[in-house]
A and B are shown apart, each in its own frame.
Chain A
């Protein structure tokens, strides 16, 4: 069965610092991969997705993620954190041919001024 592991339930960085949120998946074949963000009292918003095209994927708000098959990873990065990036971030996998999303536990990102 597909699973997703997000290392670190809580990450804290200073404003302007690099953001790195880790995601590893388990799958026998490369799945489709997604990062979603959830701001307080809001739904899940797509940041970016990987669907078997370029391994470096750029998303909204300056975020990007790199698919590394050898490491079964899809880590999310942003070069310079803004206060507005404070939110909960979810990595999700959708097995090819399946419909559902399988989510990781989420990582709460806090930005320190």
Chain B
């Protein structure tokens, strides 16, 4: 069964460093998402991406964040200058067109020290 994959599973970085989280969505999906879950808190929407552009973003997704689909298969989230409060589990998700469910990857745990 097709699945969303994410790498790495765990990333440790120092405050101020740039990180790139990588996702491979399911191949025939058209909509792509990033969510995050700070430990003990709810899953929060960050950004949605369709047709090679951001279609919606949350207040969390400020200028420090960017997304890219560089090669038609990968979908990346970049954080330019990490802060301690960026420590969280980051989930990638994708879906086909229509009111269908989003398929989630296993997540990348980002720890900023």
Contacts and interface: CB of A to CB of B under 8 A. Distances in A.
A41 B48 CA distance: 24
B44 interface: yes
B75 interface: no
Nearest to B57: A100
Contacts of B106: 41-43
Of A98, A100, A103, most buried by chain B (CB within 10 Å of CB) is: A100
A101 to B, nearest CB: 6
Nearest to A46: B101
Interface residues of A, number: 25
B113 interface: no
A43 B42 contact: no
B43 A44 contact: yes
Contacts, number: 56
Question: Interface of chain B, helix or strand or loop or mixed?
Answer: strand
A32 B99 contact: yes
Contacts of B18: none
A99 B99 CA distance: 9
B30 to A, nearest CB: 11
Interface of B: 4, 31, 33, 35, 41-45, 48, 50, 55-56, 58, 91, 93, 99-107
27 contacts: A34-B101, A36-B104, A41-B106, A42-B106, A43-B4, A43-B91, A43-B104, A43-B105, A45-B104, A46-B101, A46-B103, A51-B100, A90-B43, A94-B99, A99-B48, A99-B50, A99-B55, A99-B56, A100-B45, A100-B58, A101-B35, A102-B45, A103-B35, A103-B44, A105-B41, A106-B42, A106-B43
Task: Please name the 5 residue pairs, one residue from A and one from B, whose CB atoms are nearest each other, closest first.
Answer: A44-B104, A100-B45, A43-B106, A103-B43, A43-B104
